[in-house]
């Protein structure tokens, strides 16, 4: 595969997430993500969670406001 070839990645709407602490490993937390295709589980350190949190808030601030039913 050449370096300039486009890679198509399937994306699925995120249904839910959960942060799962491990009492035996206090230096990481499991981040569980649920989509229509099932669950995925990732381990994340404090530094990764802090970076992810900042990036999510930054991205959310650039999105249109949610409209509420009224």
β 16-21/38-45 pair status: unpaired
Instruction: Give yes or no for residue 54 having a pLDDT over 80.
Output: yes
Examine the pLDDT at 64 and tell me if it is beyond 60.
yes
Q: Determine the pLDDT at residue 1.
A: 46
* ∠ Cα 19 64 41 (to 5°): 20
Collapsing DSSP states into helix, strand and coil, what is residue 45? strand
Average pLDDT over residues 23-51: 95
First-to-final CA distance of the chain: 52
CA distances from 66 to 14, 46, 54, 55, 61 (A): 17, 29, 20, 19, 11
Residue 66 confidence class, pLDDT cut points 50, 70, 90? confident
């Amino acid at each position: 595969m050449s370096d300039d070839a486009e890679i198509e990645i399937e994306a699925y709407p995120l249904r839910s997430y959960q942060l799962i602490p491990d009492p035996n490993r206090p230096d990481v937390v499991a981040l569980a993500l649920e989509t229509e295709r099932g669950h995925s589980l990732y381990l994340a350190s404090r530094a990764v969670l802090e970076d992810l949190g900042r990036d999510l808030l930054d991205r959310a601030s650039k999105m249109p406001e949610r409209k509420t039913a009224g």
